[in-house]
Homo-oligomer: A and B are copies of this chain.
Amino acid sequence: MEKIKVSIFGATGYTGIELYRRLKVREDIDIVALPSKRSPGKKYIETAGSLVGAEETLTEWNVEETIRKSDVVFTALPHGETFEIARWTKILGKKMIDIGSDYRLDAEQYQKWYGLEHQIPEAIQEAVYCIPELHRKKITKDTWLIANPGCYPTSIQLPLAPLIEAGIIETTDIIADSKSGVSGAGRGLKQITLYGEQNENVNAYGAGNHRHKPEMERHLGELKGVAIKILFTPHLMPMTRGIHSTIYCTSKDKVTEEQIRDLLKEKYKNEKFIKIMEKGNYPHTKWVLGSNYCQIGVVYDQDTNKIILFSAIDNLVKGASGQAIQNMNILLGIKEDKGIENLPVFP
């Protein structure tokens, strides 16, 4: 059987490394290019000592040529850097999975939130935004571009979607309070991500104003054609990986905790990667570490008529590269959990 030829644009960041380490050990995948703008020719292992056994060197940033020799192209790049790649992927009839944020918003919102005119708005139209458990049916044989969801949005949409679809909560009165490990801030050198500054530290940032807010509102809204308003507050935690989201919703009618739990269980009953916690149990980021799993919990507070949802994912796996591989598998008709079947690393 011929191997699938894969390239990774942005292989030296944290999501790129997670992608590589999972694809490299698959017998059905061939990694054919790791294009780098800054250091073509450099040995890949010199960029991260964990890449034991990696013999690749970073390749030239030659977009057309790279895509020509690939079946699937992954992009893990800052926003605004994938336009040429998307253009060539389409021209050459290949597949592209963008782990970045260039195809998650419509063109107008993109300009508003990223301060940048989108150069190929038609690609946004054709892109499939895909959390597999919610959107995998949208992928067809013609799909050539996947907009891989953001880490926070994955952790928030998975628990919320069934409640929105069921029409049981006020969709414009949602608060999402998320807690993320430091790897979510990327591998760039910033003072706040230094060990000495972030150990023993918790802080909020960008409250009400984060770019993942319009992403969630757009795609949750499309589930059922309703307007969604989310007050979203991200926080940085003293840990490397993991996102925990606590989501406060107002119930339209009286419900019981059990009814909501049943609704979540029913929705995800065939989903390997989604685990609904039993009564009294809460998701723990530690319990999904290094895996593609998502744990979801629920509490109903009678006193305030609020439904509280909890979720835990690994931001670099289900929140990025793991989900990207899941999407690739679907796109290519491969077993959906291939390469991401491992159980969480514990302790």
Chain A residues within 8 Å of B, Cβ to Cβ: 14, 17-18, 20-21, 24-25, 48-53, 173, 175, 177, 179, 181-183, 187, 189-191, 193-205, 207-208, 229, 231, 233, 235, 237-242, 244, 246, 248, 272, 275, 281-291, 293, 295, 297, 299, 301, 303-304, 306, 308, 310, 312, 341-347
Contacts and interface: CB of A to CB of B under 8 A. Distances in A.
A132 to B, nearest CB: 17
Contacts of A24: 343
A49 to B, nearest CB: 4
A207 B309 CA distance: 10
Contacts of A197: 286, 347
B177 A196 contact: no
A288 B53 CA distance: 11
Contacts of A235: 179, 244, 246
A190 B193 contact: no
Contacts of A199: 195, 199, 239-240, 286, 347
Contacts of A187: 191, 194, 196, 347
A344 B52 CA distance: 8
What 7 pairs between A and B have smallest CB-CB spacing?
A201-B286, A50-B346, A196-B347, A208-B301, A21-B343, A189-B189, A49-B287
B229 A304 contact: yes
Contact of A290 (B49, B183, B196, B345): B345
A183 B198 CA distance: 12
Contacts of A282: 203-205, 207
B308 A202 contact: no
Contacts of A291: 52
Contact of A343 (B50, B200, B203, B345): B50
